[in-house]
Amino acid sequence: MSDDLKQVRDAVAAEKRAAKTIELGKHKYALIVSVVAWVAYLVLPYAGDARGWEALFVGGTAEGVRISLMETVSAWLALGGVGILTTATILERRTSVALAAWMMVTISFFVNLWGFWYRGGAAEGASIGMYVGAVSTLVAFLVYCQVALRRSPEQLAAAERVREVSGQLDHVGVLQNEAATELPAEQNPLLIDDRRSRAAARHQSQPGEE
């Protein structure tokens, strides 16, 4: 039984290790496109003569373009979700990093939609950089929707191993239970009441008592 329990623990540990990495497959190239688009967004015109990187700072730019708070929030979330965490996901394939990136690019994209509405009424309308930035977060969002919660082949194999070993352990327990219940009551160690005999043995082992 101890060996069977060890096999179960090892299988569960292997499944947990496999769950720490995310399987990107061909989606990795889409994430690379997202990162490249985000870099382009930083240097392309965002609104008027302002560049994308200037959206990181709320208020007025050197060119006189006013950046709203929501645009700055979207820009920082894109920086974290695409620029930092998506790059780290491509390199390290950490599930926790990918989930954090998924959350950030999702919020960034939808906040950016508000930015387009704001630009529609502002003196400086949206320029090409703003559209490229939106495409960057949208691509990352769609990729994470497909891969973030999907099990990798390693996870599937580890989970199958856990089921297999657990089934073997259950089978051993059933056999032991059947073997115990098939014995006559007077021979079954689970059913024998030996409390009186043990009490008598203890009484005899006490010297000096009449």
Q: Each residue of 76-118: pLDDT tens digit?
A: 999 999 999 999 999 998 989 999 999 999 999 999 999 999 8
% of the chain residues with pLDDT over 70: 63
pLDDT band at 156 (very low <50, low <70, confident <90, very high): low
Residue located via tokens 């203890």: 202
Instruction: Give pLDDT, residue 44.
Output: 95
pLDDT(61) > 70: yes
State mean pLDDT over 56-68.
85
Residue partners of 147: CB distance under 8 A and separation at least 6? 22, 23, 24, 25, 27, 98
Is this prediction's pTM over 0.75?
Answer: no
Q: Out of 2-6, 67-71, 104-108, 168-172, pick the least confident.
A: 168-172
What mean pLDDT comes out for the span 32-38? 97
pLDDT at 15: 62
Other CB atoms within 10 Å distance of the CB of residue 62: 8
> pLDDT confidence of 1, banded at 50, 70, 90?
very low
Integer Cα distance of 120 and 123 in angstroms: 8
pLDDT at 22: 87
- 22 neighbors 95 (Cβ within 8 angstroms): yes
CA distance 166 to 6: 11
